[in-house]
């Protein structure tokens, strides 16, 4: 299990504690990877204190200076060691116990992802997401209803078969586009989304959006 953190502060302790409790229910071999994207609060100290207490199951990846959400997620996915990689964000907007909704579909699929039927985010983020999903569908043939839902299992062998180029918000769209080209099997399952209470969202930053469009153009060109 991996989750990227960026200015999450108090959330990281809850995320690690909840992750360990939930993963214990599903497997006798698991790990929690915290990919810290240059957080300027106590995220690093808190995460590393858990790693010190759980050296066999908790690992922390730090990148300084801040290099963006996509880069943090990519490093976490690359570091994963086991057959299945679950990822979520460090903002506590999902209930990790709902992982049990996805687990039954692992044997017959390569990607099992949640989708947010009711997204608990500000209107501008909902509109951005709708537009991004549409672009992915039109330009890359990505037919997933909620591309950026951060509640997802990837088969590790699939991740190892591709090279992830994106370092920004394009990362999920890129992975799905490459999964489609390889004929990977995807299952979508409805999950509950909760309001964000801590941390800072960066997805609506104009610089983040511009970078995503540049990466989208580059990916479309490379896949032709």
What digits encode the pLDDT tens for the residues 65-124? 888 888 899 999 999 999 999 999 988 899 999 999 999 999 999 999 999 988 887 777
211: enclosing H helix or E strand: helix 206-223
Cβ(151)–Cβ(94) under 8 Å?
yes
What one-character-per-residue DSSP string does 31-99 give?
-EEEEEES-SSSHHHHHHHHHHH-TTTEEEEEESS---HHHHHHHHHHH--SSEEEEE-TT--S-GGGH
Residue 166: φ, ψ to 5°: -70, 140
What digits encode the pLDDT tens for the residues 38-67? 888 889 999 999 999 999 999 999 988 888
* Of the candidate ranges 165-169, 193-197, 198-202, the one whose mean pLDDT is the lowest: 198-202
pLDDT at 26: 87
Domain that includes residue 46, residue range: 2-223
Biggest CA pair distance of the chain? 48
210: enclosing H helix or E strand: helix 206-223
Please report, to the nearest 10 degrees, the dihedral formed by the alpha carbons of residues 187, 193, 198, 201 taken in order.
60
- Say how many domains are in the chain: 1
217: enclosing H helix or E strand: helix 206-223
Residue 67, domain CATH: 3.90.550.10
The structure's pTM equals 0.85
Tokens of 137: 């569908």
């Amino acid at each position: 299990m991996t989750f990227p953190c960026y200015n999450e502060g108090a959330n990281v302790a809850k995320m690690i504690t909840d992750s360990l409790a939930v993963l214990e229910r599903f497997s006798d071999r698991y790990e929690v990877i915290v990919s810290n994207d240059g957080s300027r609060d106590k995220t690093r100290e808190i995460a590393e204190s858990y790693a010190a207490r759980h050296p066999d199951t908790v690992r922390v990846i730090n990148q300084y200076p801040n290099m963006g959400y996509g880069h943090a997620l990519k490093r976490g996915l690359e570091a994963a060691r086991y057959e299945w990689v679950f990822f979520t964000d460090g903002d506590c907007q999902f209930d990790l116990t709902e992982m049990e909704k996805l687990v039954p579909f692992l044997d017959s699929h390569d990607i099992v992802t949640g989708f947010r039927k009711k997204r608990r985010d500000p209107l501008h983020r909902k509109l951005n997401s709708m537009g991004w999903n549409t672009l992915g569908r039109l330009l890359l043939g990505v037919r997933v209803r909620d591309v950026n839902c951060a509640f997802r299992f990837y088969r590790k062998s699939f991740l190892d078969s591709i090279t992830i180029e994106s370092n920004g918000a394009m990362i999920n769209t890129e992975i799905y586009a490459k999964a489609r080209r390889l004929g990977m099997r995807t299952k979508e399952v409805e999950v509950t989304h909760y309001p964000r209470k801590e941390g800072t969202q960066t997805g609506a930053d104009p610089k983040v959006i511009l970078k995503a469009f540049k990466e989208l153009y580059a990916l479309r060109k490379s896949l032709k």
